[in-house]
Chain A
């Protein structure tokens, strides 16, 4: 009995035995609460829908003057607020969009459609793409140097030459609003949480949920409150991209050494100066990671936001994916990735820039970049003008290369896919069938065949073994919520897809990470790869696997595995590299060989960190499972996608989103508690 109390592994085996016995003895029958709990909170979605409707349409009506009908009308205050907000966001997006692409909407918002129709000259001309690309290169040079200049310039040139200019600039205009707003909001909330314990306590659980809530479920309330269009897409993006920024700002500020803050105070800083000039710059590293996350999230939302009417690349990409035009999807995917990397590098360089106080600069030197830009602008305009003389019929390629009129490699990719299909049709098909029939379906059935009582025993028992009664209750609470909705079976399917993928990608990540951590050079390379691949929006991974496996669960699983291997690999490498050199030496002097050293020193020391990596893998996998709904799965994600087009979907969407989030949070609770305990035990806390 004592050994059982001591040995957690033994406890877990006993738990597993109980679980299996429960699975066997509980019969499958609809009425049996041990088999499935009754859907007691079935009514919750409808209740949420009612409340949202009430807030939106009946709460606190105010009189508002409508200039169109020249009368006062009753508008609920919430609607008035969201209307104002939408108008503002839309105006900002249009402003940037028309700077880049030209148009009349900005002029209209200051005058009227009638005025614009009467005055045909009042058109804002598009900026020639040469000017934008040159400007990007110049910005890159000013902030960092030739390397970034070359990269930014060629990225924009690629976008133009491949005929993706218009959708790319639409996407860019939308990101250029969403990203800065998210960064600012994140900073504000991060600082507030840093200043006040109360705010932190309130924000913390919200951030936890927000981080794991699937992208789709944000869309539905946004549609209800803000309608459909670019502004709704931008607002959904902002809501999604802000939480990581808040979290990293708070983390960074907490890491500022107290003496640095004191030095700021003793220098006579007011609290604003202290924040702006001492604490935030000192927390810069983490805050920059936050900015990077924001940019990533914004571009990951490009496709998803297009579901609620955001124009741009996402829209076209989704169409291309749906009509299986892989080559086109790939080209647009590359555009999104390029925009992401350019924005990321530019923001990084901007934050690291320093001033030179020694040069006594003349007007020309101080404003040299502005002057160069004016030159680029002039040259670009002249070239565009010449272009209008050369290309007489229709399109002026020096000004704006229209969509799908550029170079395209689509045929090449399409042929490649076709050829691959011809060549590998039978092996791919048989692999696909084998994988689905012999692996996926049995596991899926096993999951669906679990009685709810057994699932609870296993999950809460694991929680109890790891973190005591507290963890057990938290895990149980999360599961209870899911079990009481009518979607327990769907949640099991989500869980099954996630479990398989996490197992595979965890194994791959740990193996690759271990191999690469053996040498400094390979470490650097693999971390570089992780950085780059992490910049790719998640759905990008769907493109190549669909080329190979079509619209099946196999595609989804493989896409998740590829995507979710990234954090597993990264954390393994980081964990192994952080084992102190002196421990290696101590091991070597005790006479261990390479494998022994790995198994007895490095792996145990780094495993807590690797467990956090697995935790991230779970988060990545969950988000990908849900995105997999875009190519057809039958889990929670599909239901969320459906509720998006449902007029009364807001409640469904939110509750489904919470279900997904709670799966993630339950696993997070167990893994994090365990990792923290191990870290504390190893003295690494």
Chain B
């Protein structure tokens, strides 16, 4: 479903674009001292009694080039705080954050501005457009701040307006646009400087469900064209499953689990994660190769061929309609396995415990 999903085997060898090493963010006057006294082991309740609120608690992870990592959690789980630490809109209380190998926590103001002007873009939940500027001026703003001439920045902003489908509304003010259109402006603004790293903080949460779906499609289309490294924050688990390469689930500042959507659904690490995944239809998150059998030359197969990275949901009909097992092929057309209809039936209709057990081996 997500176009050109990155193959995690190849990206792992690259240098991570973002690397967090035990990042803490604790609000309160005595936060630093308390953290040192407790040697990094943070008990939220104990801290709260001392007047400190724990935002992020010992977060360590990496994001690889072209990867889309979603940070998922309910409100107050610290997901936006973590994002703000990584973009250094707030300073982390402790820990190190590397952007392309450089420690952002020790950067000077000047270096930080340079980084933001050239490498980073961010989209906000409430759109955060400048109310006194038109669509075009809003989009051109990061370029003008950078010192690019009015003519060039406006031309570039026009291209961006076309890219996000707002042609003809260049001279509108934010207040004259609908929520979806405003967020398109926000997206265009964040992409105007062609950043490598794209932060999205609940970009679609303030939108109506229908518009949200439309914007998610739009987002996938853009990502298909641009392939940025993305950190995406949401409280909507369906949205996370739909878009993510990997998902980090946060609760009370702690990353409970960080894994691919399929693994999270199949092997929830904690009780909290399991509750989220209970209602999720398996066929939406499992690829067909997770239920395929090894190639058996002796067995009879139908002539239907399906790609190995297809979601079960999208090929279920084809598999069930064939009266023999179906071949699974990789990108070059090589047959890598077969799928029997019964496997698909058990994913679609089988009881939960059974198929998570059955699948553990194949994953």
Interface residues of A (CB under 8 A from B): 257, 259-260, 262-271, 273, 277-278, 281-282, 284, 354, 356-358
CA distance A282 to B132 in the complex (A): 7
16 A/B residue pairs, CB under 8 Å, sorted by A: A262-B84, A262-B128, A263-B124, A263-B186, A265-B89, A266-B121, A268-B113, A268-B116, A268-B118, A268-B145, A268-B146, A270-B109, A270-B113, A271-B109, A281-B132, A357-B150
CA distance A271 to B116 in the complex (A): 13
On chain B, the number of residues with a Cβ less than 8 Å from chain A's Cβ atoms is: 38
Which chain A positions have C-beta within 8 A of B126?
257, 259
CA distance A284 to B193 in the complex (A): 27
Say yes or no: B131 contacts A282, CB within 8 Å. Answer: yes
One of B109, B120, B145, B154 near A357 (C-beta < 8 A): B154
Residue of B whose beta carbon sits closest to that of A354: B134
B327 contacts partner chain A, Cβ-Cβ < 8 Å: no
**Which of A257, A282, A354, A357 has the most B CB atoms < 10 Å from its CB?**
A357
Interface positions of B from 98 to 148, Cβ below 8 Å from A: 109, 113-114, 116-118, 120-122, 124-134, 136-137, 141-142, 145-146
Once A269-B113, A277-B145 are accepted as A-B contacts, the answer to whether A263 and B132 lie under 8 Å apart by CB is: no
Count how many pairs of residues, one from A and one from B, have CB atoms less than 8 Å apart in the complex.
Answer: 75
Say yes or no: A266 contacts B150, CB within 8 Å. Answer: no
Which chain B positions have C-beta within 8 A of A282?
130-132
Say yes or no: A269 contacts B124, CB within 8 Å. Answer: no
Residue of B whose beta carbon sits closest to that of A263: B128
CA distance A264 to B186 in the complex (A): 12
CA distance A278 to B133 in the complex (A): 10
Residue of B whose beta carbon sits closest to that of A265: B89
Closest CB of chain B to A289's CB: distance in Å? Answer: 15
Known: A266-B199, A267-B117. 17 other contacts (CB 8 A): A259-B127, A262-B124, A263-B128, A264-B130, A266-B116, A267-B141, A267-B189, A268-B116, A268-B117, A268-B118, A268-B145, A269-B113, A270-B109, A273-B145, A281-B130, A357-B137, A358-B170
A interface: dominant SS:
helix
Say yes or no: B132 contacts A266, CB within 8 Å. Answer: no
Say yes or no: B122 contacts A263, CB within 8 Å. Answer: yes
Which chain B positions have C-beta within 8 A of A270?
109, 113
Say yes or no: B136 contacts A266, CB within 8 Å. Answer: no
Which chain B positions have C-beta within 8 A of A271?
109
Residue of A whose beta carbon sits closest to that of B141: A267
**Which of A257, A266, A277, A358 has the most B CB atoms < 10 Å from its CB?**
A266
Say yes or no: B132 contacts A284, CB within 8 Å. Answer: yes
Which chain A positions have C-beta within 8 A of B136?
357
Closest CB of chain A to B144's CB: distance in Å? Answer: 8
Once A257-B126, A257-B128, A262-B89 are accepted as A-B contacts, the answer to whether A267 and B145 lie under 8 Å apart by CB is: yes
Closest CB of chain B to A265's CB: distance in Å? Answer: 6
CA distance A262 to B85 in the complex (A): 12
Say yes or no: B120 contacts A260, CB within 8 Å. Answer: no
CA distance A257 to B206 in the complex (A): 16
Once A357-B150, A357-B154 are accepted as A-B contacts, the answer to whether A266 and B87 lie under 8 Å apart by CB is: yes
CA distance A357 to B118 in the complex (A): 25
Which chain A positions have C-beta within 8 A of B113?
268-270
Say yes or no: B145 contacts A260, CB within 8 Å. Answer: no
Which chain B positions have C-beta within 8 A of A357?
136-137, 150, 154
Which chain A positions have C-beta within 8 A of B81?
none
Closest CB of chain A to B228's CB: distance in Å? Answer: 14
B190 contacts partner chain A, Cβ-Cβ < 8 Å: yes
Once A265-B116, A282-B131 are accepted as A-B contacts, the answer to whether A259 and B145 lie under 8 Å apart by CB is: no
CA distance A259 to B125 in the complex (A): 8
Say yes or no: B145 contacts A262, CB within 8 Å. Answer: no
CA distance A267 to B109 in the complex (A): 14
CA distance A257 to B127 in the complex (A): 11
Say yes or no: B130 contacts A260, CB within 8 Å. Answer: yes
One of A259, A266, A358 near B190 (C-beta < 8 A): A266
Once A260-B130, A278-B130, A354-B134 are accepted as A-B contacts, the answer to whether A266 and B145 lie under 8 Å apart by CB is: no
One of B129, B133, B145 near A269 (C-beta < 8 A): B145
Say yes or no: A268 contacts B142, CB within 8 Å. Answer: yes
Which chain B positions have C-beta within 8 A of A277?
130, 141, 145
CA distance A267 to B89 in the complex (A): 12
Please list the 5 inter-chain residue pairs (A to B) with the smallest Cβ-Cβ separation, ordered nearest first: A268-B117, A267-B142, A259-B128, A263-B128, A266-B122
Closest CB of chain B to A454's CB: distance in Å? Answer: 45
Closest CB of chain B to A264's CB: distance in Å? Answer: 8
Residue of A whose beta carbon sits closest to that of B157: A357
Residue of A whose beta carbon sits closest to that of B110: A270
CA distance A354 to B130 in the complex (A): 14
Which chain B positions have C-beta within 8 A of A262?
84, 89, 122, 124, 128
Which chain A positions have C-beta within 8 A of B199?
266
CA distance A281 to B138 in the complex (A): 13
Say yes or no: A266 contacts B120, CB within 8 Å. Answer: yes
Closest CB of chain A to B76's CB: distance in Å? Answer: 16
One of B89, B109, B134 near A266 (C-beta < 8 A): B89
Which chain A positions have C-beta within 8 A of B190?
266
Interface positions of B from 172 to 205, Cβ below 8 Å from A: 186, 189-190, 193, 199
Residue of B whose beta carbon sits closest to that of A271: B109
Which chain A positions have C-beta within 8 A of B145?
267-269, 273, 277
CA distance A25 to B28 in the complex (A): 56
Which chain A positions have C-beta within 8 A of B118?
268
Closest CB of chain A to B111's CB: distance in Å? Answer: 11
CA distance A498 to B139 in the complex (A): 54
**Which of B109, B142, B189 has the most A CB atoms < 10 Å from its CB?**
B142
Residue-wise, chain B 162-174 has the 8 Å CB interface mask toward A (1 for contact) of 0000000011000
Closest CB of chain B to A388's CB: distance in Å? Answer: 47
CA distance A259 to B131 in the complex (A): 12
Closest CB of chain B to A262's CB: distance in Å? Answer: 5
CA distance A264 to B189 in the complex (A): 11
Which chain A positions have C-beta within 8 A of B186?
263
Which chain A positions have C-beta within 8 A of B125?
259
Closest CB of chain B to A471's CB: distance in Å? Answer: 27
